[in-house]
Chain A
Amino acid sequence: MATAAAHRTAGTPAHDASDAAAGTDARQAAFDAAVAADERIEPRDWMPDAYRATLVRQIAQHAHSEIIGMQPEANWITRAPSLRRKAILMAKVQDEAGHGLYLYSAAETLGTSREELLDKLHSGRQKYSSIFNYPTLTWADVGAIGWLVDGAAITNQVPLCRCSYGPYARAMVRVCKEESFHQRQGYELLLALSRGTPEQHAMAQDAVNRWWWPSLMMFGPPDDASQHSAQSMAWKIKRHSNDELRQRFVDICVPQAESLGLTLPDPDLKWNEERGHHDFGAIDWTEFWDVLKGNGPCNEQRLTQRRRAHDEGAWVREAAAAHAAKHSGEHTGAVAGRTGVKQA
């Protein structure tokens, strides 16, 4: 990447304050030019501190969402009603753990560590998507999450495949392929229920009723209340506004709900010929901010389980580190070095 080379050569040692300032200005100019030209910023390129901080915040939140997001679905693994569905759900939860791994790796290219990020999650200093603070109450919720929650995630994440930060963009390409598959599986699960017995149909409708509005909230606050949007769009981290993506998602879901034979719980939802889009009802932002503040149905439970898994696993990670220290220099076999445990 030609411009990246320019960033690096721009970083000549400075001899005094004015030289340093001039160096920073040159690097900033090279960075701005790279972003303007739709080039990728790579880990070793110079980048503004605020750009780095924004990306760490966003990628970490995304990684945390993948691992917290395992919980509502894992809640149904042991109760899945057929072996085929059980296999699909296990594979899906495994994929999510894998997505968490990619994303923590992408975040680490920015100079942070997985341990540090997990610590911020556990202490509540970093967030995860508030959709995972809703409970999965029936088997149909597994389908509703696949269809709506993964659907909203894909709508959000496909534009991120063109994000200005290379490692994040490349992680998103892989994640989106798998997410699209999960979404189809969720849709297909709901379809089976919708066409099944009256009880199964009712179960599917109830799940969609409960998950529809929280899914719309996944796109974040309305544009006029979104504090990071403008800057993220200028940096080409985001490509579309929250409301734009939300509208896109609604327009996609309406015909899908129709083919499912299920209704969406919004009396104001209707096609607007003039706009070429569906109009939809008002989102309950009070609920959104409330869940974000930690007062959703499962906030406490999700974080407690995550902390417990981490705390109860401490002796295991310590054992792996101690064993690695004792046997460094030996080859202990195929899985050695894949434990994800760093030596202190």
Chain B
Amino acid sequence: MTATVPVPTTAALALGDDALVLSHRLGEWAGHAPVLEEEVALANIALDLLGQARVLLSMAGDEDELAFLREERAFTNLQLVEQPNGDFAHTIARQLYFSTYQHLLYAELARGDGRFAPLAAKAVKEVAYHRDHAEQWTLRLGDGTDVSHERMRRACEALWRFTGEMFQPVRGLDVDWPGLEAAWLDAVSDVLRRATLTVPEGPRSGAWAAGAGRQGLHTEPFGRMLAEMQHLHRSHPGASW
């Protein structure tokens, strides 16, 4: 039996886990996308995020030990990124919410001189593409057919309650969190409006969801995702790949 690696919650881990988990979810799309160009796009975004995750996790420790030998309660990603793919609209809504957040966050970190500035400067260019991709699809689906509009509306509503968590301050990140939140709300509201969608009215966090992922409290599908992700690595303790 492999012992779980105990880890402190650090900023590198929080950002690294976000990227790792969303990358994994996007990887589940391979071979299932609605059109061949999206096979390329989703895999491409997943690969960018995995690259970011590897840099960030390596700042916190050994990337593979952290990815494969921690249990659910030790992961500090946002609950948003662990949400199952659902239909294409759910994947796009999740991507819109997260890439807008990540883009604004990394832009701010890149402007600073903290330890994340070099990574953020590189990643912000990638994330600009992710954000553009998510925005374009939000417009196409929201302002496409009646069916796509309804699906996009439902996806935006369903994921809304996971968005508040993104603005819980992360220790070790010198960021204007209220400013980040305001900028995010403006940007997302604008895209939704142009997509003929309305900004969801529900709460942006429940008592349970707010900041919970960052504290290692996750949603039920996450454990199953980790089981699949870690199974092979854990079956061969100490092996190299």
Question: Which residues of A does B touch, CB under 8 Å?
Answer: 67, 70-71, 74, 77-87, 90-91, 93-94, 97-98, 100-101, 104, 114, 139, 189, 192-193, 196-197, 199-200, 305, 308-310, 312-324, 326-327, 332-336, 338-341
Closest to B229 in A: A78
Report whether B35 and A197 are in contact in the complex, using a CB–CB cutoff of 8 Å. Answer: no
Query: B241 interface residue, CB < 8 Å from A?
Result: yes
Which 8 pairs of residues, A with B, have the shortest CB-CB distance?
A: A313-B34, A319-B144, A319-B148, A74-B30, A94-B43, A97-B39, A316-B34, A340-B37
Say whether B132 contacts A319, CB under 8 Å. no
**Chain A positions within 8 Å of B239 at CB level:** 81, 196-197, 199-200
Choose among B88, B132, B143 the residue that contacts A323 (Cβ–Cβ < 8 A): B143
Partner of B30, one of A70, A192, A315, A336: A70
- In the complex, A93 Cα to B51 Cα: how many Å? 16
B240:A317 contact, CB within 8 angstroms: no
Contact status A86-B50, CB under 8 Å = yes
Could you tell me which B residues sit within 8 Å of A by CB distance? 20, 24, 27-28, 30-40, 43-44, 46-47, 50-51, 53-54, 57, 63-64, 67-68, 87-88, 129, 132-133, 135-136, 139-141, 143-145, 147-148, 151, 228-229, 231-233, 236, 238-241
A5 to B6, CA, bound (A): 72
Whether B37 pairs with A79 at a CB distance below 8 angstroms is no
**B54 / chain A contacts, CB cutoff of 8 Å:** 83-84, 87
Question: Inside 8 A of A77's CB, which chain B residues have their CB?
Answer: 27-28, 30
User: Given the complex of chains A and B, what is the CA–CA distance between A197 and B241 in angstroms?
Assistant: 10
Measured between beta carbons, the chain B residues less than 8 angstroms from A91 are: 43, 47
Q: By CB atoms of chain A within 10 A, which of B53, B132, B239 has the most?
A: B239
**Bound-complex Cα distance A35 to B110 (A):** 58
In the complex, residue of chain B having the shortest beta-carbon distance to the beta carbon of A196: B239
A200 engages B236 (CB within 8 Å): yes
Min C-beta distance of A214 to chain B, whole Å? 20
The residues of B that contact A189 with a CB separation of less than 8 Å are: 241
* 13 new A-B contacts at CB < 8 Å, known A315-B151, A316-B141: A71-B31, A78-B24, A82-B64, A83-B63, A90-B30, A97-B39, A97-B43, A193-B241, A314-B34, A315-B147, A318-B145, A318-B147, A320-B35
Given contacts A320-B140, A338-B37, contact A82 B132 (CB under 8 A): no
Task: Check B64–A83 contact: CB distance below 8 A.
Answer: yes
B32 touches A90 (CB 8 A): no
Q: Give the distance to chain B from A186, nearest Cβ to Cβ, in Å.
A: 13
CA distance A335 to B130 in the complex (A): 11
Q: Is the CB of B232 within 8 A of A79?
A: yes
- Please give, as numbers and ranges, the residues of chain B lying within 8 Å of A86 by CB-CB distance: 27, 50
Q: Given the complex of chains A and B, what is the CA–CA distance between A333 and B134 in angstroms?
A: 12
Which of A74, A93, A318, A319 has the most chain B CB within a 10 Å cutoff? A319
Also in contact, A309 and B136, with CB within 8 A (given A90-B27, A101-B40, A318-B144) = no
Q: Are B147 and A97 in contact (CB under 8 A)?
A: no
Which residues in A have their C-beta under 8 angstroms from that of B47? 87, 90-91, 94
A83 and B53 form a contact (CB under 8 A): yes
Q: B57: which A residues are within 8 A, CB to CB?
A: 83
Of A192, A312, A315, A323, which contacts B139 at CB under 8 A?
Answer: A323
Judging by beta carbons under 8 Å apart, are A192 and B240 in contact? yes
28 contacts between A and B (CB under 8 A): A74-B30, A79-B231, A82-B64, A83-B64, A86-B50, A87-B47, A90-B43, A93-B39, A94-B43, A97-B43, A100-B39, A193-B241, A196-B241, A309-B31, A313-B35, A314-B34, A316-B34, A316-B35, A316-B38, A319-B148, A322-B144, A322-B145, A323-B139, A333-B132, A335-B133, A338-B37, A340-B36, A341-B35
Could you tell me the distance between the alpha carbons of A196 and B35 in the complex, rounded to whole angstroms?
39
Closest chain A residue to B50 by CB distance?
A87
Which residues of chain B are near A84, meaning CB under 8 Å? Answer: 54, 241
Q: In the complex, are the beta carbons of A78 and B241 less than 8 A apart?
A: no
Residues of B contacting A74 in the complex (Cβ-Cβ under 8 angstroms): 30-31
A90 & B50 in contact (Cβ 8 Å cutoff): yes
For residue A81, which residues in chain B have a CB less than 8 angstroms away from its CB? Answer: 68, 232-233, 236, 239, 241
